Structure 1
Amino acid sequence: MTTSAAAGPRTDAFGVDWENWHSAQEARLSAPHGFLAITALHWLTDTPQRFSDAPGAWSAGPDGVLVSLDDGEELVIDGETVRGEHRFGIIPERGGIEAIWGDAVIEVAKRGGYDIVRPRHPGNSLRTEFRGTPAYAPDPKWVVEGRYVPFEQPRPTTVGASVEGLEHVYEAPGRVEFELDGHALGLTAFPGKTPGSLTVLFTDTTSGVTTYAANRVLQLPPPDPGGAVTLDFNRAVNLPCAYTDLATCPLPPAENRLPVAIEAGEKIPHERNR
């Protein structure tokens, strides 16, 4: 696997910092059990089903997910080997449990109110043939200072998904306002990966042209006490659905469709240009 840089190696501090960040981003994506290792997206029902890329018969009901393993089949969950019947219990929305099966990981999760199983096999061709993600050359002009405006109360916000008919609901804590090329713009923000941080999903006029059509995502640090926050669009990245149809990624809320060209961050993956 190789990392697809925006240009040749950078020597300036800004470019080197970006390249280090992007290399780490690519490493997470292409890890042995990262998203590129997913071989299928199985939707569970109350009828037990067997799958070619996972052991056991799987079902889901009011009490959560159940797998029934045949003789000779086993999974390792939280360091414990399980055989026979195993109940995963009720998995919370956007939650998940990883069960080890040989060199594979069987992800058991809930997305959009549905229980799913997504096996992750290191030998999946999408992972082994990964060439890296093309991106715009990093440029300080795309580092924008903004202002975070919290809502009086978090707003439940329903958005679509990369899977038709699926919806995601997030509690939006506020909005980030900023200016770009003379345009006053704003983005509804969702909670980030760490306390106080924010996540924004967006599209812009490059979407479907040079960048992935459905969405990109930008992680923001916690705003300072006065609400100041930095948006570095050089670090706008693709969600997993940009690479594989086996993802359930959220789409941006309508107000996050920006009427400007954000010529920064990751471009359409090679996998979508085949």
Structure 2
Amino acid sequence: MTVQDVDRSSFTEEWERWHRDHEEALASPHGFLAITSLRWLSPEPTRFEDAPGAWSSGPEGVVVELAEGEELTVDGTPVHGRYVFGVIAERASLYPGYGDAVIEVAKRGGNDIIRPRHPGNPLRTDFTRTPAYAPDPRWVRTGRYLPFDEPRAVTVGAAVEGLEHVYDAPGEVEFELDGETFRLTAFNGKRPGSLMVLFTDATSGVTTYAANRSLQIAAPDDAGKVTLDFNRATNLPCAYTDLATCPLPPTENRLPVAVEAGEKIPLERGGQP
């Protein structure tokens, strides 16, 4: 695709629809903006002010002990007393209900956690929008997927100090920008065969969030061709709240150029409209 080939009006309208849908998901009643705390579980049963029960983590996995009158809903079924969620897989989450809230039960960086999500959290109810660069076809780049012989385990840091994440990287994505060639380590995306890259660039910490941005890439075609639409580079939850455990980009994904496309620093973090 070249800039000349694009109907700019349709391109902008499509981007606006996509961004509106993305923001609605972010600010949904139980989205990341609804999180009221991040609780690291230990073997000692502990109560928290924004969740029912006493929570612990041990050989059985995550366990909650609900007092008389307390209730959670698991898969539509009310539960009372002692309930064992079991051992949760890394990066997996469960969402038992608690009134109009949900209590996310998850594992991040090898640690069991809970993150209550309350629709009335001010971060969610006060949310308006995320500033972004105006969509520009220049930032839609054709690239090439370079698969590894075998997926490589890549350890990256996290928004939470001392925490690490390990992802399987199936390959790299190569693209050109202003006559220079760049390669980004890619992780598996949200859909089968798709890819995701975490990156920073020369705008990071200036107009875009300092720690990271994320870009989803559709599955490569049979020739390995991919499309990188940097207009759809999005913030991770840690751009909005300190209650997220987002991964940081691998070192090689720190681009030395300014990618003036996609989402900017959120207003909640001092970003400019």
TM tier, smaller: over 0.9
Q: 2:222 aligns with which of 222, 225, 244?
A: 225
Alpha-carbon deviations, 1:188-220, whole Å to 9, x = none? Answer: 000001100000000000000000000000000
Find 1:173's aligned residue among 170, 173, 181.
Answer: 170
Question: In the aligned structure 1, how far is the partner of 2:8 from the partner of 2:153?
Answer: 44
Superposition deviation, residue 11 in structure 1: 8.0
1:81-230 to 2 correspondences below 5 Å: 81-230=78-227
Q: Which amino acid aligns with 1:207?
A: S
Contact 2:212 2:248 in 1 (8 A): yes
Q: Secondary structure at the match of 1:266?
A: coil
| AA matched with 2:43 | D
SS at match of 2:244: coil
Partner letter of residue 25 of structure 1?
Answer: H
- Unpaired runs of 5+ in structure 1? 1-9
Q: 2:44 aligns with which of 44, 47, 53?
A: 47
Quote the residue 1:4 is aligned against. none
Cα deviation for residue 62 of structure 1 reads 1.9
Native 8 Å contact 2:217 2:227 kept in 1? yes
SS in 2 for 1:177: strand
Query: Any idea what SS the aligned residue of 2:96 has?
Result: strand
Aligned to 2:72: 75
Deviations 1:65-97 (A, max 9, x none): 000000000000001110000000000000011
Deviation digits for residues 111-158 of structure 1, max 9, x if unmatched? 000000000000000000001100000000000000000000000000
* Structure 1 residue ranges (4+ consecutive) displaced by more than 4 angstroms after TM superposition: none
Counterpart of 2:245 in structure 1: which amino acid? T
Q: Compute the displacement of 1:32 (Å).
A: 0.3
Instruction: Work out which of the residue numbers 231, 241, 244 in structure 1 matches 2:241.
Output: 244
Cα separation, 2, equivalents of 1:26 and 1:195: 23
Please give the alpha-carbon distance, in whole angstroms, between the structure 2 residues aligned to 1:183 and 1:115: 43
Gap runs ≥5 in structure 2 = 1-6
Rounded to whole Å, the distance in 2 between the matches of 1:181 and 1:217 is 21
Show the counterpart of 1:3: none
Aligned mates of 2:129, 2:233 — CA distance in 1 = 15
Amino acid at match of 1:250: P
Q: Percent identity?
A: 69
> What secondary structure does 1:28 align onto?
helix
SS at 1:157's partner residue? strand
Distance 2:178 2:44 in 1: 55
Corresponding residue for residue 15 of structure 1? 12
- Residue 183 of structure 1: how far off its partner (Å): 1.3
Question: Quick one: which amino acid aligns to residue 213 of structure 1?
Answer: A
Alpha-carbon distance in structure 1 between the residues aligned to 2:195 and 2:30: 26
Q: Structure 1 length normalisation: TM-score?
A: 0.96
User: What SS does the corresponding residue of 1:170 show, helix, strand or coil?
Assistant: strand
Shift of 1:101: 0.4
Greater shift after overlay, 10-19 or 74-83? 10-19
Distance 1:48 1:74 in 2: 17
Q: C-alpha root-mean-square deviation of aligned residues, in Å? A: 1.0
